[in-house]
Amino acid sequence: MAGSGKAHLRPGRDDVVLSVEDLVVEFPAGGGKKVHAVSNISFDVAKGETLGLVGESGCGKSTTGRAIMQLPRPTGGSVRLGDRELTKLKGEELRRTRTQLQMIFQDPISSLNPRRKIKDIVGEGISIWGKKTGNGDARSRVDQVLIDVGLDPDTVGDRRAHQFSGGQCQRICVARSLVLDPEVIICDEPVSALDVSVQAQILNLLEQMKDRYQLTLIFIAHDLAVVKNISDRVAVMYLGKMCEIGPAEGLYADPAHPYTHALLASIPQPDPNIEALELETLEGELPSPIDPPSGCRFRTRCPRAEERCAEEEPLMREVAERHFVACHFPLVGDTAPPDAGIPVKVRATA
């Protein structure tokens, strides 16, 4: 049993917008087996916060994002948006509430219907649901969001998606996600498919839109480098589990989970803060989510693993303010044995 319980994972503020508790997503895998894609993940996100969600391919990031949207419904757990429990909503009520949650995907070109006009793509939410806020008509709202994402409505409105580059398509996707004035946008690797030169522009755009529209963001990425500058807090997933979550600054400077440490070590230009650590890369294969290791799921690749790690699942515990780790032998202060495989970085303040 995991059951970290979200009480540990609060952002340290009262204005929680989205609350995910013990989220479980399993897919049938044939032969009566299951893919344990997401297993008892819990976190809260505060109004205006950006939570980075990182981990290797297949660790369950997108599944977590989609389960928050109820696409498909999670196997278990709770997802609350404000005071609404999304897992209990149905039909029109669910669809209407879901307009407050939007997703932006990795491949902007294939997220847009190539045959439709941009103004119709961006305005679709309004034509289905009507307009929630602002003055003026639907057309002016579409124009406004296009201007806000850096596109000229008079030039682009009547053109079709196939005429635009990847970066421009992602701007259009951002405009579409904003048109109904959502509370939360889940950005699922929104810059991974773009040219490096365009990535920073889209990241800047998301930051600007976050301020202008008072958004709360969940930002999914493969590696910690991408989310570093934009995240207030970062959560690290491994094989369907959350292994560490904390304020970005503390997590990058003092990673407590050996997996987070390894992820940081794999960033090509390491942060100066972690240069003192002897960097090493992860060894071994990623186990199958159909038959995950007992106890700690990371133990088969962990240089610090001991018997206990196979027998007992580590629960989340606080290692610094708002910084939590699920590890029996975290890389923190004097809790780490001196002969551990990874050098221990002693905290200035414990």
Q: Please report, as ranges, the residues that interact with ligand ATP according to CB under 6 A.
A: 27, 35, 37, 55, 57-63, 222, 289
> Could you write out the three-class secondary structure of 212-254?
HCCCEEEEEECCHHHHCCCCCEEEEEECCEEEEEEEHHHHHHC
The one of Mg ion, ligand ATP, none whose footprint includes residue 35, by CB under 5 to 8 A per kind, is ligand ATP
Binding site partner of 34, from Mg ion, ligand ATP, none, Cβ cut-off 5-8 A by kind: none
- Looking at the Cβ atoms of 192 and 208, the one nearer to Mg ion is 192
37 binds, among ligand ATP, Mg ion, none (CB under 5 to 8 A by kind): ligand ATP
77 binds, among Mg ion, ligand ATP, none (CB under 5 to 8 A by kind): none
Under a CB-based contact definition with an 8 Å cutoff, are residues 149 and 171 in contact?
yes
Nearer Cβ to ligand ATP (54/209): 54
CA distance 322 to 288: 31
88 secondary structure, DSSP code: G
Alpha carbons 40 and 44: distance in angstroms, whole number: 13
What is the crossing angle of helices 166-178 and 118-129, to 10°? 20
Q: How far apart are CA 28 and CA 32, in angstroms?
A: 7
Q: How does DSSP classify residue 50?
A: E
**Start-to-end Cα distance in the chain:** 29
User: Min. distance of Cβ 93 from ligand ATP in angstroms?
Assistant: 25
Work out what residue 11 binds among ligand ATP, Mg ion, none; the CB cut-off runs from 5 to 8 Å by kind: none
What minimum distance in Å lies between the beta carbon of 298 and ligand ATP? Answer: 15
Kindly tell me the sign of the dihedral angle through the C-alpha atoms of 49, 62, 131, 19.
negative
Residue with smallest beta-carbon separation from Mg ion: 62
Could you tell which of ligand ATP, Mg ion, none binds residue 60, using a CB distance below 5 to 8 A set by kind?
ligand ATP
Q: Minimum Å distance from CB 49 to ligand ATP? A: 21
Phi, psi of 102 (to 5 degrees): -125, 160
Kindly tell me which of 55 and 250 has the beta carbon lying closer to Mg ion.
Answer: 55
Q: Tell me the C-alpha distance between 315 and 288, whole Å.
A: 21
In this complex, which beta carbon is closest to ligand ATP, that of residue 298 or of residue 329?
A: 298
Burial of 265 (0-12, 13-18, 19+ CB in 10 A): middle
| Identity of the residue, 62 or 216, whose beta carbon is nearer to ligand ATP in the bound complex | 62
The answer for residues whose C-beta is within 8 angstroms of residue 199's C-beta and 6 or more apart is 191
**Shortest gap between Cβ of 62 and Mg ion (angstroms)?**
3
Binding-site partner at residue 59 among Mg ion, ligand ATP, none, CB < 5 to 8 Å by type: ligand ATP
Measured from the CB atom, the residue of 132 and 222 that comes closer to ligand ATP is 222
The site for Mg ion (CB under 5 A) is made up of 62
Q: How far apart are CB 71 and ligand ATP at their closest, in Å?
A: 11
Q: Please state the closest distance from residue 219 (CB atom) to ligand ATP, in A.
A: 13
Give whichever of 62 and 102 is closer to Mg ion, judged by the CB atom.
62
**251, burial (CB in 10 Å: exposed 0-12, middle 13-18, buried 19+):** buried
Interacting partner of 70 out of ligand ATP, Mg ion, none (Cβ under 5 to 8 A depending on kind): none
Cβ proximity of 244 and 257 under 8 Å? yes
Q: How far is the CB of 57 from Mg ion (least distance, A)?
A: 7
Q: Measured from the CB of residue 264, what is the shortest distance to ligand ATP in angstroms? A: 17
Give dist(CA 227, CA 345) in Å, integer: 23
Whole-angstrom Cα distance, residue 41 to residue 64? 8
| CB-nearer residue toward ligand ATP: 46 or 235 | 235
